[in-house]
């Protein structure tokens, strides 16, 4: 877990503002039970077996009250770094947006000006082994993404070029 958080800590951020915050809950502890309690039933059905749950938050407002427009982007990058580190260490991370956003505020919100940005759950290295259907089938299914060409935007032609 320390290596995962270290990877997140070194992520780049706008003006090096480092807006990410983490609440780590290991299975068996009270915080884990509380976090499990705010997950959607579908997520709860598999996340209960995770080694740890991590609530990820972004400070969208700085200490002087100024807005941090890149906070969610930056925090997503930190989570990406954390996830890659986890895979490199033989673990798995599964992001979850499916949790009760009203419940989280009074109970686990670290401080004002902070928004939760999705919580990854650490889980065993061989996902699917203990999952009930249809979740196991979802894990076995081929992963799908658009071809790269479908993601490419076309830049507008510059005026100089149009004149020529």
Ligand X SMILES: Cc1cc2nc3c(=O)[nH]c(=O)nc-3n(C[C@H](O)[C@H](O)[C@H](O)COP(=O)(O)O)c2cc1C
Binding stretches for ligand X (CB under 6 A): 43, 94-98, 118, 143
Smallest distance, Å, CB 40 to ligand X? 6
Smallest distance, Å, CB 87 to ligand X? 12
Smallest distance, Å, CB 84 to ligand X? 13
Smallest distance, Å, CB 22 to ligand X? 15
Quick one: 91 or 96, whose CB is closer to ligand X? 96
Quick one: 143 or 161, whose CB is closer to ligand X? 143
Quick one: 41 or 159, whose CB is closer to ligand X? 41
What is the C-alpha separation between 154 and 78, in angstroms, rounded? 28
Angle CA(150)–CA(156)–CA(157) in degrees, nearest 5?
130
Smallest distance, Å, CB 162 to ligand X? 39
Q: What is the DSSP string of 93-128?
A: EE----B-HHHHHHHH--STTEEE----EEE-SSTT
Quick one: 59 or 116, whose CB is closer to ligand X? 116
Q: Where are the alpha helices (DSSP H) in the chain?
A: 2-9, 30-38, 41-47, 71-88, 101-108, 135-140, 159-163
Quick one: 65 or 132, whose CB is closer to ligand X? 132
Among residues 57, 56, 58, 53, the alpha carbon closest in space to that of 35 is found at 53
**Nearest residue to ligand X on Cβ basis:** 98
């Amino acid at each position: 877990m320390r290596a995962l958080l270290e990877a997140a800590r070194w992520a780049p951020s706008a003006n090096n503002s480092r807006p990410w915050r983490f609440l780590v809950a290991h299975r068996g502890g009270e915080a884990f039970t509380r976090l499990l309690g705010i997950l959607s039933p579908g997520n709860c059905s598999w996340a209960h077996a995770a080694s740890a749950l991590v609530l990820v938050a972004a400070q969208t407002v700085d200490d002087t009250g100024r807005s941090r427009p890149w906070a969610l982007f930056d925090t997503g990058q930190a989570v990406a770094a954390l996830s890659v580190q986890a895979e490199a260490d033989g673990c798995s991370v599964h992001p979850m947006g499916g949790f009760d956003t009203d419940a989280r505020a009074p109970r686990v919100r670290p401080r004002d000006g902070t928004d939760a940005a999705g919580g990854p759950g650490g889980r065993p290295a061989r996902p699917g082994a203990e999952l009930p259907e249809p979740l196991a089938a979802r894990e076995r299914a081929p992963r799908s993404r658009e071809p790269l060409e479908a993601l490419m935007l076309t830049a507008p032609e510059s005026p100089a070029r149009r004149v020529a």
